[in-house]
Amino acid sequence: RIDAGRLLASLEALGRFGALPGGGTNRLALSDADRAARDWTVDRMHALGMAVRVDAIGNVFARYAGTEQRAPVLTGSHIDTVRTGGLYDGNYGVLAGLEVVATLREAGLRTRRPIEVAFFTNEEGARFQPDMLGSLVAVGGLPLAEALATRGIDGATVGEELQRIGYAGQAPVGAPQVDSFVELHIEQGPVLHQQGLDIGVVEGVQGICWLEFTLEGCSNHAGTTPMALRRDAGLVAARITAFAHELALRYGGRQLATVGAVELRPNLVNVIAQRAVMTVDLRNTDGAALARAEAELLGFATRCAAEQGVVLGQRRLARFDPVAFDPTLVELVAQEAQALGLGTLRLPSGAGHDAQMLARVCPSAMIFVPSVDGLSHNPGEHTEAHHLVQGAQVLLQVLTRLANR
Amino acid sequence: RIDAGRLLASLEALGRFGALPGGGTNRLALSDADRAARDWTVDRMHALGMAVRVDAIGNVFARYAGTEQRAPVLTGSHIDTVRTGGLYDGNYGVLAGLEVVATLREAGLRTRRPIEVAFFTNEEGARFQPDMLGSLVAVGGLPLAEALATRGIDGATVGEELQRIGYAGQAPVGAPQVDSFVELHIEQGPVLHQQGLDIGVVEGVQGICWLEFTLEGCSNHAGTTPMALRRDAGLVAARITAFAHELALRYGGRQLATVGAVELRPNLVNVIAQRAVMTVDLRNTDGAALARAEAELLGFATRCAAEQGVVLGQRRLARFDPVAFDPTLVELVAQEAQALGLGTLRLPSGAGHDAQMLARVCPSAMIFVPSVDGLSHNPGEHTEAHHLVQGAQVLLQVLTRLANR
Ligand SMILES: NC(=O)NCCC(=O)O
Ligand SMILES: NC(=O)NCCC(=O)O
């Protein structure tokens, strides 16, 4: 059985890096806080006698050797956070993986296959896009050179920042030899909490589309420019925002739309905005509906910008189709959770996860624990301690089962 | 006659402070660039043998003595600019005033009354609100202590910044002894240019209302939070922006509405905005219509925020009723312009100006010259050289006429 006290203490400890005054963390990928959190986690891996390697995109893998020379069973997640992040998003999956190893080690147990615990670079996608950048590169889904050249919201590139914080590793990327991947994560949504259940058996991850619009209008005087003569980039951004929201309501089902980032230039009270840069996050479990939503949004943005004499530029920051996890692994998660007497529910993941990238190269699955009130990407993100402990216990069962196959 | 070459060269010279790479200036009030521009202008005043005084809010007055000890005729404007400012907005009125003095001085002429040339602090209102802050304090419309405590968009206060740049002057504010005020300015709107006229005879300034809304929602995950459970501060900001635009179109006439500044927090692609701070600039020549527009906008913002579970905070950053200039002075401007054979038009000012504050304490008027394509608060802001020269000539005629009364 895993050690509850040790697991919870490790979550607290990792939460210190980039801690926000009122709770939660601000630990954008490859920032100084991320470096400190990485160093601390790697120390912990070494303390468990694990062999640590860092790959060229900064993913870190720690191996607990098995009794046989075979492809490892992989677990893990990420330790970067958004600016208003909680203590568990990602961190929990990594530290629970290390807790599983600590438990086996204390008991003097080895599995047949090695167990590896990883944390992947820039899962959040808050600083660099796309999200799941490290795991995407790891599975060969994005060329390394392109990933290293990716510029973040502050202008720095992934490659520069990896060098700066000392995590541009030697291990190659692109062709991982992995038996299977299981990721433990908080749900981040309200479903398990609302239904009073313990474990989410994740069947897959919904489709994700991130668009960036750059709107170029003309700065002019708010007091002298007739409404009809304006080329107001901020107005177009606002209309796209409102339209995206209405589109999601109209599509219904699991269609989501969020405009989380908007920047105006020159951003002054009495100057019509010359430029607006904004993002739109569209998600749907139904890939075809997601594609329609994207097309409809682009059509609206194009028309709306043209009507206002504003020039529209667009970039896709991320685009991932819905992913279905391996049915056998999903069933194994359900069985192990039920064998522990836990209440389970099969559900899709709303958030993107590294497991959706690993699913391209090996059987993959995920285990969710409840998020109180479904709050996430918020300093108040919370999961009850007993749920954290139960989830780690399910992970222990699933990993040992897989690693002894 | 004024010296065209000298006037144009001085405009170029002052444009060097805070110059933007592609033209135009970024010279926010009380910034380092503003300090350098102030120092340069004060040097020029001294070079003309003028007595310079700085008041407690940083307004600078330079006196060209008259033959009698009487209240001065005042002219001038401002030298701060927005972030995307042109070379003429404000600067022109100040340098043309100094050009008038230089012309009189070269000709060995003195008027009966002194002529004073002033530049006022933070006319633009881009860094500190309200706009026309310096002239408002000068005429006793805002207590000095309150003005000094005003916090700008970067968090610094007016008082701190005045100290820092060395323009917290000794001269008292609040009860100016001024005979009359005439401000020369570029139109900043399209009217004179469209009609092919030379001089705008400004009858007054439209009403101005600046509102700031602070919207407090709840940050949450863009991929896991159902649309119905969101408290999205960014969505409310967008809807208010779209509503303000539609309101202006619906009111018609001279109703304007602009949302020039929006800031989201945490401002990330996959996080629902926890907080949005935005400004709305409403203007109308009809004071009653402006009041209705403000009330309607507040009503909408309140309802829209409540619908989305977002808490609305509001501040009035500026509120000035429409101002009518002194009919006798307005007529004098028209006569002097026509006597020079120039094509004139009576019109209201769309922009706010220091003259609208001075009008509270003395007969005031303004002279406009055309802005090419009505472009302003834009680095491409332009006025033809012959118009700049004509405007300064009209100013010379009007000032000497007033100062010899
Ligand atoms: N788990 C998680 O929050 N991932 C970030 C990527 C996303 O926006 O879904
Ligand atoms: N003249 C001018 O641009 N004044 C700035 C204040 C305003 O926004 O009208």
DSSP A57-80: T--EEEEE--SS--PPEEEEE---
Is omega for the bond preceding B322 within 30 degrees of 0, making it cis?
no
Nearest to B221 among A206, A266, A377 (CB): A377
pLDDT band at B398 (very low <50, low <70, confident <90, very high): very high
Ligand 2 pocket residue status of B89, Cβ below 6 Å: yes
**pLDDT tens-digit map of B273-287:** 999 999 999 999 999
State the smallest CA–CA distance between residue B317 and chain A in angstroms: 10
Chain B residues 1-60 within an 8 A CB cutoff of chain A = none
Tokens standing for B399? 């000032």
Ligand 2 pocket residue status of B125, Cβ below 6 Å: yes
Distance CA A48, CA A251 (A): 49
Q: Do A219 and B352 touch (CB under 8 A)?
A: no
Q: What pLDDT does residue B176 have?
A: 85
Quote the ligand 2 centre to B54 CA distance (angstroms).
22
Q: Do B378 and A352 touch (CB under 8 A)?
A: no
Quote the ligand 1 centre to A251 CA distance (angstroms).
22
Nearest to B269 among A210, A220, A226 (CB): A210
Which residue ranges of chain A lie beneath pLDDT 50?
Answer: none
State the smallest CA–CA distance between residue B113 and chain A in angstroms: 34
Distance CA B27, CA B36 (A): 10
State the smallest CA–CA distance between residue B160 and chain A in angstroms: 21
Is B124 annotated in a binding site? The answer is yes
**pLDDT tens-digit map of B195-231:** 999 999 999 999 999 999 999 999 999 999 999 999 9
Q: Do B189 and A221 touch (CB under 8 A)?
A: yes
- Residue B287, chain A, CB below 8 Å: the answer is no
pLDDT band at B5 (very low <50, low <70, confident <90, very high): very high
Q: Do A377 and B279 touch (CB under 8 A)?
A: no
By the 10 Å C-beta count (0-12 exposed, 13-18 middle, 19+ buried), A307 is classed as exposed
Q: Which of B269, B278, B281, B378 to mutate to test the interface with A (most CBs of A within 10 A)?
A: B269
- Residue A206, chain B, CB below 8 Å: the answer is yes
Q: Give Cβ neighbours of residue B81 (< 8 Å, ≥ 6 apart).
A: B18, B25, B26, B27, B28, B89, B90, B91, B124, B126
Best residue among B219, B221, B225 to mutate for probing ligand 1, ranked by most atoms within 8 Å of CB = B221
Quote the ligand 1 centre to A88 CA distance (angstroms).
12
Is A321 annotated in a binding site? The answer is no
Chain A residues 329-358 within an 8 A CB cutoff of chain B = 349-352
Distance CA A73, CA A61 (A): 12
Half-sphere exposure of A86 (CA within 13 A, CB side): 23
Q: Where are the beta strands (DSSP E) in B110-231?
A: 115-119, 180-186, 199-205, 207-216
pLDDT above 90 covers a percentage of chain B that reads 99
Is A185 annotated in a binding site? The answer is yes
Hunting for tokens 């003095």 — which residue is that?
A: B101
Is omega for the bond preceding B114 within 30 degrees of 0, making it cis?
no
Is residue B201 helix, strand or coil?
Answer: strand
Q: What pLDDT does residue A175 have?
A: 81
- Residue B216, chain A, CB below 8 Å: the answer is no
B296 pLDDT above the threshold of 90: yes
Nearest to B264 among A210, A261, A352 (CB): A261
Question: Which residue from A202, A199, A201 is spatially nearest to A343, judged by alpha carbons?
Answer: A199
Residues of B in contact with A281 (CB under 8 A): 222-223, 269-270
- Residue B368, chain A, CB below 8 Å: the answer is no
Is residue A213 within 8 Å of residue A312, measured between CB atoms?
Answer: yes
Nearest to A374 among B206, B229, B237 (CB): B229
Is B382 annotated in a binding site? The answer is no
- Residue A404, chain B, CB below 8 Å: the answer is no
Nearest to A270 among B234, B269, B281 (CB): B281
Q: Do A223 and B271 touch (CB under 8 A)?
A: no
Strand A323-324 to strand A199-205: parallel, antiparallel, or no bridges (unpaired)?
A: antiparallel
| Other CB atoms within 10 A of residue B137 CB | 27
- Residue B223, chain A, CB below 8 Å: the answer is yes
Hunting for tokens 């993100």 — which residue is that?
A: A381
Q: Give Cβ neighbours of residue B336 (< 8 Å, ≥ 6 apart).
A: B394, B397, B398, B401
Distance CA B265, CA A171 (A): 37
Nearest CA in chain A to B351: A223
Tokens standing for A17? 């890096």
Which numbered atom of ligand 1 lies nearest the CA of A283?
Answer: 9
**pLDDT tens-digit map of B11-63:** 999 999 999 999 999 999 999 999 999 999 999 999 999 999 999 999 999 99
Q: Give Cβ neighbours of residue B119 (< 8 Å, ≥ 6 apart).
A: B38, B41, B59, B60, B76, B77, B78, B79, B90, B94
Nearest CA in chain B to A131: B270
Is residue A318 within 8 Å of residue A279, measured between CB atoms?
Answer: no
Best residue among B183, B284, B353 to mutate for probing ligand 2, ranked by most atoms within 8 Å of CB = B353
pLDDT average, residue stretch B349-362: 98
Q: What pLDDT does residue A176 have?
A: 85
**Helix or strand holding residue A381 (H, E):** none
**pLDDT tens-digit map of A101-126:** 999 999 999 999 999 999 999 999 99
**pLDDT tens-digit map of B154-183:** 999 999 999 999 999 999 999 889 999 999
Tokens standing for A291? 């594609």
Is A377 annotated in a binding site? The answer is yes
Is residue A261 within 8 Å of residue B222, measured between CB atoms?
Answer: no
| DSSP class of A228 | G
Distance CA A129, CA A121 (A): 11
